[in-house]
Amino acid sequence: MTGFMTSPRNSPGTVAVLDRAPTSTTFSRVLGIATLVGIGWLVVFGLFLSPNDRVQKTGVRIMYIHVPSAWLAYLAFGVTGVSSLAYLWKRTRSLAWDRLAGASAEVGVLFMGITLVSGSLWGRISWGTYWTWDARLTTTAFLFVTYIGYLAVRDLGGTHQQRAKRSAVLAVLAMLEVPLVHFSVTWWRPLHQNETVENGKLSGLMLFTLFVGLIAFTLLYVWLVLHRQRVLTLLDQVDDRGLDVAIAERRNESVPS
Amino acid sequence: MLNAPYVIGSYVVTLGGIALYTWRMLGQARTAARQVPPEDRPWT
């Protein structure tokens, strides 16, 4: 057991809970339960209660995860970009913005991956192929790879401030790709369909199910980013402690015995 | 259900991917938390 177990601020019971779920709070637990309920609703409505589409038949059920995951990926990358701008602005230069940007980008990559895989399976049903190099699919894949690159750049090493600065610049540039992906269906008229919701093509239970998916994934996004940025805080503190120990050891070595 | 493997497969991949990411993240949190005292965690 480590020394902090005996901290007077924490009773043994509190410490046990903190160790099992060190990034949890009452708010995050309530949010987690709401997220699970939302995802349960999404599965029930998406797979069983919503009707089949006249043209796409059962294939339309993939839309309830494909569209919300794409929207959430946009939101996540937007949050990454805005947090990075906040970090770069001198008056708000705080590593908390950098960690929020990193956490949001990671969750965004997860949602973008889900978008690509679910879209590929939907494409197999609708177009008879898993992949085609049309404008929407290509720009989406490019966005996905860009943010994987962003995450790789975050892991390049250096101090926390160096990491924050270089990744913030990259995030601001990468954010410019999001409108390119979104408007690709209107600019190039590819195989991928236009906006279904904005054009009012959905109604009734299908529209309701899509909103259930959107709410469930939004709650999930908030829960994941909340936890992930706390994990990044812990990892930064572990790094700092390792550096402190290394410096202390080096000083001890240099003291003549 | 017509196209069931694709529809169910998309839900399985989605929920499985999210579960895997969450499990890995919380495991990383537990490992890192062993070296950081609770009073140094701003959210506690």
Residue-wise pLDDT tens digits, A77-97: 999 999 999 999 977 789 999
State how far the alpha carbon of B36 is from the alpha carbons of A15, A132, A155, A234, B24, in Å: 12, 48, 21, 7, 19
Given A14, A124, A241, which is nearest B35 (Cβ)?
A: A241
DSSP type of residue A60: G
For A218-236, how does the pLDDT look when each residue is reduced to its tens digit (9 = 90+)? 999 999 999 999 999 999 9
For A141-163, how does the pLDDT look when each residue is reduced to its tens digit (9 = 90+)? 999 999 999 999 999 988 999 99
Of A96, A103, A69, A89, nearest to A224 by C-alpha is: A103
Q: What is the pLDDT of residue A83?
A: 96
Q: What is the pLDDT of residue A5?
A: 40
Mean pLDDT within A189-214: 80
Of A22, A19, A38, nearest to A30 by C-alpha is: A38
| pLDDT above 70 for A41 | yes
Please state whether A190 falls in left (phi above 0), alpha (psi between -120 and 50) or beta: beta
The answer to whether residue A49 neighbours chain B at the CB level (below 8 Å) is no
State how far the alpha carbon of A212 is from the alpha carbons of A41, A239, B12, in Å: 7, 40, 18
With beta carbons less than 8 A apart as the criterion, state whether A100 and A79 touch: yes
Q: Which residues fall within 8 angstroms of residue A92, CB to CB, at 6 or more apart? A: A86
Question: Mind telling me how many Å the CA of B41 is from chain A's nearest CA?
Answer: 8
Here the ipTM equals 0.94
The answer to whether residue B7 neighbours chain A at the CB level (below 8 Å) is yes
More confident residue, A248 or A125: A125
Domain limits, chain B: 4-31
Q: What is the pLDDT of residue A8?
A: 42
Domain limits, chain A: 37-237
The answer to whether residue A10 neighbours chain B at the CB level (below 8 Å) is yes
Distance (Å, whole) CA B30 – CA A22: 6
Residue A54 backbone phi and psi in degrees, to 5: -65, -40
Probe site for chain B from A31, A39, A44, A118 (most B CB atoms < 10 A): A118
More confident residue, A55 or A196: A55
